Structure 1
Amino acid sequence: MPSRLRVVLVEDHALFAQSLDFALTREGYDARVLTPEDFPTPGALLGRVRELRPRIVLLDLDLGPLGDGRLLIGPLAQAGIPVVVLTATSDRVRWGECLAVGARRVLSKAGTLDGVLATITALAQGRAVLDETERAELIALARANGREHREIRARFELLTPRESVVLGHLMRGETVHDVAAAFVVSENTVRTQVKRILGKLEVSSQLAAVGLANRVGWHPPAA
């Protein structure tokens, strides 16, 4: 029996939170729901979680105005509070990132309530909730992706200030003609700049350059 084991659910989706709160309470757990919108900063939310002294935290990755829930995992894990991530994303890289900073397991919101309850029960009993091979594979995937992103972002650092601005115009869907008109230069000049951008980013088209920028979250300087 859970023996009123306290479970804190950090979730910004009201219907999902209410449903899980009801299910946990019905199973005998002391469930507490914290809504991110009720806190001014991630630090304030983290402080409240600690005050409640939960045995387990169920954490959403999307905390609305407070940003990425992954930032809370490390501090909670360091405080000895097991964290189970509940997320709508199927991105296994993000799953691995959560595990790398201390989450015990990541569960999809597309899964079943029984799966969530089984994970909570296993944690309460001190049992493993994720196969170590799968954990290692997910963490390795996240770290490899991190290295790749750093390598790609290093290419963007090779761009000159003007090339960065030109790429910013391309990201907004502007053509070479539009960029030339904006800078009052010839289209040949802009084409030369675009060619240099593609070479530095190691891509073969403007579309690929824009896609690469979006992929790693690169933003151009203010024009």
Structure 2
Amino acid sequence: MDRPASRAGVPDSRIRVMCVDDHRIVREGIALIIGREPDMVVVGAAATGEEAIALFKERRPDITLMDLQLGSMSGAEAIRAIRREDPRARVVVLTMSSGDEDVYRALDAGAATYLLKDTALEDLVRVVREVHAGGHPEISPAMRTQLAERAGRPALTPREVQVLELVRKGMRNREVAASFGISEETVQTHVKNILAKLDVPDRTAAIDVALRRGIIHAR
């Protein structure tokens, strides 16, 4: 990828960073942090997954800092789309979400590493430099433990996740069945499987566990 030239006509060697977050204050805060580093520059900011994909194609950043909760398209989906566009794309997740399912989905989509928003500023810029150099900084020990535990649990199917999302919204079996064009008996089977896989006694507990693990989200 050709580097943009500076005003003097010399290629700009700074690390080109794009920030993706649905909160303006976060985007502006990251821009201030990156802007203080002499070897980095922010080349774009996006509020949604769709904007991130379009902006990536236009700006071709060296590093993309990606939140996960972005609205209709998740950060993990945006990472996957960006990596399809350019398999060399380097994405660092920067999010509040610490659930094992969120971590798994992001890394599976191709993220180089996964940071929480309480990460120290010096660690954030260190990781940006390390990933730019081709590294894959290790996730935290707590996250590694979560992923190891996740590997031993049965995963919900995509349909079971969809059913649980509607249950979280307060829908009854009849309403869930109508939404998917399936029978109430099939919905009951899905709910039974969800409870068994999450090892919980009822729907309320299933929702609590699924929210905590990042299987579903509150919005």
State the number of aligned residues.
174
Match of 1:58 in 2: 65
Match of 2:173 in 1: 164
Pairing 1:151-190 to 2, within 5 Å after superposition: 153=160, 164-165=173-174
Match of 1:108 in 2: 116
CA positional deviation for 1:125 = 2.1
CA positional deviation for 1:136 = 7.3
Match of 2:192 in 1: 201
Corresponding residue SS for 1:21: helix
Distance in 1, matches of 2:158 and 2:67, equals 29
Structure 1, gaps ≥5 residues long? 157-162, 169-192, 218-223
Pairing 1:1-223 to 2, within 5 Å after superposition: 3-28=13-38, 29-36=40-47, 42-63=49-70, 65-78=71-84, 79=86, 80-130=88-138, 141=149, 147-150=154-157, 153=160, 164-165=173-174, 201=192, 208-211=201-204, 214=207, 215=210
Distance in 1, matches of 2:62 and 2:158, equals 40
Closer, same or farther: CA 143–34 of 1 in aligned 2, 3 Å: farther
CA positional deviation for 1:134 = 8.7
> Partner amino acid for 1:201?
K
Closer, same or farther: CA 102–139 of 1 in aligned 2, 3 Å: farther
Note the alpha carbon deviations across 1:184-213, whole angstroms, 9 max, x for none.
xxxxxxxxx9xxx59x82769xx9332366
> Partner amino acid for 1:107?
L
Closer, same or farther: CA 33–201 of 1 in aligned 2, 3 Å: same
**% identity of equivalent residues:** 20
Report the aligned-residue RMSD.
Answer: 3.9
CA positional deviation for 1:139 = 5.3
Closer, same or farther: CA 153–62 of 1 in aligned 2, 3 Å: closer
CA positional deviation for 1:33 = 3.8
Distance in 1, matches of 2:201 and 2:143, equals 33
Note the alpha carbon deviations across 1:94-145, whole angstroms, 9 max, x for none.
11221111111110001111111010111222233126x9987665555555
Corresponding residue SS for 2:201: helix
Corresponding residue SS for 2:134: coil
- Are the aligned partners of 1:11 and 1:33 in contact in 2 as well (CA < 8 Å)? no
Distance in 2, matches of 1:105 and 1:50, equals 21
Closer, same or farther: CA 33–53 of 1 in aligned 2, 3 Å: closer
* More helix, by proportion: 1
> Partner amino acid for 2:22?
D
Distance in 1, matches of 2:158 and 2:59, equals 42
Corresponding residue SS for 1:32: strand
Corresponding residue SS for 1:57: strand
Runs of 4+ in 1 over 6 A off after TM superposition: 133-137
Match of 2:8 in 1: none
Note the alpha carbon deviations across 1:28-64, whole angstroms, 9 max, x for none.
2121342326xxxx4453122121011110001111x
> Partner amino acid for 2:114?
V
Match of 2:9 in 1: none
